[in-house]
Structure 1
Amino acid sequence: MKKIGYTLALLAALGLSSCQKEIQPVDGVPITDPNASVPTAVVRAVQEAYPSASGITFTELDKGKVWESRFKVAAVNHQAMVNEKGTILQAYAVREAATGMPTDTIAPAIVTYIRTHYPDYTVAASGAGQFNNQPSFKVLLRKETQEITLIFDAKGAVLFEHKGTAQTGPVEPPKTYPISQADELPASVSQYLKENGFTFARGLVTVGADNAKVYLLVVSKGSVFFELTIDASGKFPSIRYYTSPTAPPSDLVQKSIGSDKELPAVVTAYLNENYKGWVFMKGYVNSVSDKPVEHMVVVQVGSVYWYVSFNGEGKFVSAQKGS
């Protein structure tokens, strides 16, 4: 069991069946369909935060409280969750798998975490954004019928880890939004916490295909913290001890590898033996306190790309086949 911010072990299907209402801005002034019942504050929040956004739509996730907005900025898909007060709870640009994960622009710790813990998974989508007004990065991984959604902070520490069954059809990250205050919880969930002597710390809501909500909470009892998974009715709780994620080293540095001649001899030897005819494409080395801790190399063999990971001493760790 990995120790992380939260383990979201219960996820329903990802799509929503509720009707979307399209909002077309005119000269910067929100104009809404009279039947949409989307608060002006919600519409304005998206338009002010993304003035060049086009094709803005809204879907109500939590009746009268939270809306999901989808739109494009410079042809890039975006997703935002906004509450009734016009506060953007989280927002991300969404990259499809074809564009890959921008390993040169995100924290090295994020790439390291994924390559270490999920070497056999494929990046289905990823995007930079903000979570509770803090910079963050979201990654959607898939392997056969398994799906993992990871949310990292700007330094690469894991904030959330969603585990579920991969959905068929277009890639779409789970619909989630954060909870920062206990009064945002349903009465049934609050009652459960009260009856069992728990104090709310923070949490996340996931919304399933049938609009059912699951609450993933960090709660405390005295000086001990727990992870609690519970549905909106206050039933089916799953509880386990919570351990705060360890922040990545502050002196973690990533350096690009310019050519195969810069690779350690042991890495070159491994590639020669196991990837006949390999051609170097790109790579990087992660170092802590000027000591290498990981080498990542992308090589091409014929028409196939391989992402091959080695530890700081050049010992093989994992390999992932790319498209």
Structure 2
Amino acid sequence: MKKLYIYLLLVGCILSACDSVKDLQPTFNPGEAVPQAAVNAIKQEFPEATQIKFSTLEKDKLWESNFQFKVDRMSAIVNNIGKITETYKVTNGIQLPDNAKTYINTNFPGSTIKNICQQVAPNTGAIIGYKVIVTLTDGKDIAVIFDGTGTLIMVASNDRPGPGGGPNGMGGPPKIYFIEQKDLPEVIKAYLLEKHQNYTFVKAAVSIQGGNKLYSVVITKDLTTFEYLFDEKGNILRSGTLGLLVPVYKLDYRPLSFPDLPQKIKDVLSANFAEWSYENGITFSQNGVLQGYYILITSQKKQFAVQFDSNGENGRGSQVCGAPGASSGKYEIKTIQPKDLPETITTFLSNRYKEFIYIQTSLITDKDKKIYWVAIVKDNFVINYSFDDKGKVLGAFENPLKFSSGKLVAKYMQDNDIPSKIRAYFNTYYPGWVFKAGLMHYVDSQLFSYIIAIKVGNENYILSFDANGNFVAARKG
């Protein structure tokens, strides 16, 4: 009896983790009835399903159904006309491929895997992907999506430090569902078409968390993968690229939460700033190698940017926001989302910079004045702006991100240039692979990294490795 109780408890934990919302229908949410077409779709596709329950993803449009099917606990996404768009196994004991585990451990150190849902093909039951909820060191839950080989497709939720909703300001686990290209907002489709003509669409997902609706989009062009995280107004919150078209000097940026800030950097900040508080930060890397840290803090009612090298040393900083003199009266700084900025500010930035990424958006209330503090990344520079409540620029500070000053050269490679260690990796995770193209990066004539595109069946994959052949990253594209 005790063993049975433990088993039921574990299954209950899994169901709770994979449920998108708690307002189960129709019994527990009589205000919104699930259309009969959605109910019939589940019963027809899974005639032996029992314990069927529905929860809302988008009111009157989309639902998640959780049910028992033979020995497996399952979930499915179904729309208001009865079309099932996604099907998952959520039974205990699902194992991620080792390369997917490596990606999570490398890119989200200190995080924990909360649950794993295994996406299966509706008709055959073949494994086609994994939806993994990961809890970051700051307590925020994000969704990481892999294909059936364990290759990353996208991070389909907001991993940036900042506001959310619900307990601890995080908004709880994100509600995630995939959409087709035609269902993207027009402003996002227009941006992608202007920036990447004749691109190939890979995947798009909607994530709803803490009252914020975000769009993750992955596209590919010329053996290069591009990933974007947009808000519903089309503001870019995160972007990343991997492939043969990426400029050799381009930096990649990753959000940095306070728990992940190295203690050495915290000690330097404490020694130089009185009563400082962490606002935001990023790490920046080149071809998978960490180059440095860019930190935004508040101290004595003023905002500072401080940059460190990859060892957390050689810190240098400057004030980027706040009155030059002493502040008096009531003072409050509140992190907001880019979509909450006044339109005059977002219009100014989009007209001045055709492509950039928001890394910090805050509203500062200083006595009877309101100041908007905005930090963006553009072409290996961080630009900090302060605006008044009417959108007038009060100050602007541009900081170049320092990185290796050595001479970088990219050379095309052939199949016989692939080291045996990388070949072994391909044979393990991509059986039947065929070489398509590749680059070897050199810094001051020393091998630095590999970027290699391969094909498996009809799918292209782009992978990066360091000079020793150690895996760094992979993308489907």
Partner in structure 2 of residue 249 of structure 1: 426
Partner in structure 2 of residue 153 of structure 1: 147
Where 1:21 maps in the other structure, the secondary structure is coil
Task: Judge conservation of contact 1:220–1:226 (CA < 8 Å) in 2.
Answer: yes
Task: Output the amino acid matched with 2:207.
Answer: T
Where 1:61 maps in the other structure, the secondary structure is strand
1:151-230 equivalence runs, <5 A: 151-162=145-156, 164=159, 173-180=173-180, 182-193=181-192, 201=201, 202-210=203-211, 212-219=212-219, 226-230=226-230
Task: Judge conservation of contact 1:15–1:209 (CA < 8 Å) in 2.
Answer: no
Say which of 99, 103, 118 aligns to 1:109: 99
Task: Judge conservation of contact 1:93–1:129 (CA < 8 Å) in 2.
Answer: yes
Q: CA deviation at 1:116?
A: 4.8
Q: CA deviation at 1:230?
A: 1.8
CA, structure 1 residues 149+51, in 2 after alignment: closer, same or farther (shift >3 Å)? same
Partner in structure 2 of residue 44 of structure 1: 40
Q: CA deviation at 1:215?
A: 0.8
CA, structure 1 residues 135+197, in 2 after alignment: closer, same or farther (shift >3 Å)? closer
Unaligned ranges ≥5, structure 2: 1-17, 244-421, 431-477
CA, structure 1 residues 84+200, in 2 after alignment: closer, same or farther (shift >3 Å)? farther
Say which of 119, 129, 133 aligns to 1:136: 129
| TM-score normalised by L of structure 1 | 0.52
Q: For residues 52 and 132 of structure 1, what CA distance do their matches in structure 2 show? A: 14
Q: Structure 1 or 2: larger helix share?
A: 2
Q: For residues 429 and 223 of structure 2, what CA distance do their matches in structure 1 show? A: 31
How many residues in Structure 1 have an aligned counterpart in Structure 2? 221
Where 1:226 maps in the other structure, the secondary structure is strand
CA RMSD across the alignment: 4.5
Q: For residues 172 and 77 of structure 1, what CA distance do their matches in structure 2 show? A: 22
Q: For residues 429 and 22 of structure 2, what CA distance do their matches in structure 1 show? A: 45
Task: Judge conservation of contact 2:75–2:87 (CA < 8 Å) in 1.
Answer: yes
Q: CA deviation at 1:21?
A: 1.9
The reply to whether residue 21 of structure 1 matches residue 25 of structure 2 is: yes
Task: Output the amino acid matched with 1:186.
Answer: P
1:73-92 equivalence runs, <5 A: 73=69, 77-92=73-88
Q: CA deviation at 1:128?
A: 1.8
Q: RCO greater where, 1 or 2, for CA within 8 Å and sep 6 or more?
A: 1
Task: Output the amino acid matched with 1:153.
Answer: D
Where 1:242 maps in the other structure, the secondary structure is strand
Partner in structure 2 of residue 231 of structure 1: 231
Deviations 1:222-257 (A, max 9, x none): 9865322222233x223634226x99623359xxxx
Task: Output the amino acid matched with 1:208.
Answer: Q
Deviations 1:74-107 (A, max 9, x none): 6865432223343332232335xxx5x544xx53
CA, structure 1 residues 81+123, in 2 after alignment: closer, same or farther (shift >3 Å)? same
1:263-278 equivalence runs, <5 A: none
Where 1:249 maps in the other structure, the secondary structure is helix
**Percent identical:** 26
Q: For residues 252 and 197 of structure 1, what CA distance do their matches in structure 2 show? A: 30
Partner in structure 1 of residue 239 of structure 2: 240
The reply to whether residue 68 of structure 1 matches residue 64 of structure 2 is: yes
Partner in structure 2 of residue 316 of structure 1: none
Task: Judge conservation of contact 1:227–1:240 (CA < 8 Å) in 2.
Answer: yes
Q: For residues 111 and 196 of structure 1, what CA distance do their matches in structure 2 show? A: 33
Q: CA deviation at 1:131?
A: 7.6
Task: Judge conservation of contact 2:214–2:229 (CA < 8 Å) in 1.
Answer: yes
Task: Judge conservation of contact 1:110–1:156 (CA < 8 Å) in 2.
Answer: yes
Structure possessing the higher radius of gyration over alpha carbons: 2
Task: Judge conservation of contact 1:16–1:209 (CA < 8 Å) in 2.
Answer: no
Q: For residues 127 and 233 of structure 1, what CA distance do their matches in structure 2 show? A: 30
CA, structure 1 residues 20+85, in 2 after alignment: closer, same or farther (shift >3 Å)? same
Task: Judge conservation of contact 1:141–1:149 (CA < 8 Å) in 2.
Answer: yes
Where 1:250 maps in the other structure, the secondary structure is helix
CA, structure 1 residues 238+226, in 2 after alignment: closer, same or farther (shift >3 Å)? farther
Q: CA deviation at 1:221?
A: 8.0
Deviations 1:3-24 (A, max 9, x none): xxxxxxxxxxx9977954238x
Deviations 1:150-187 (A, max 9, x none): 22222221222245479859x9753111123x321234
Q: For residues 136 and 192 of structure 2, what CA distance do their matches in structure 1 show? A: 35
Where 2:426 maps in the other structure, the secondary structure is coil
Q: For residues 207 and 144 of structure 1, what CA distance do their matches in structure 2 show? A: 20
Say which of 125, 135, 144 aligns to 2:115: 125
CA, structure 1 residues 46+243, in 2 after alignment: closer, same or farther (shift >3 Å)? farther
Deviations 1:262-302 (A, max 9, x none): xxxxxxxxxxxxxxxxxxxxxxxxxxxxxxxxxxxxxxxxx
Task: Output the amino acid matched with 1:243.
Answer: L
Q: For residues 218 and 48 of structure 1, what CA distance do their matches in structure 2 show? A: 32
Partner in structure 2 of residue 305 of structure 1: none
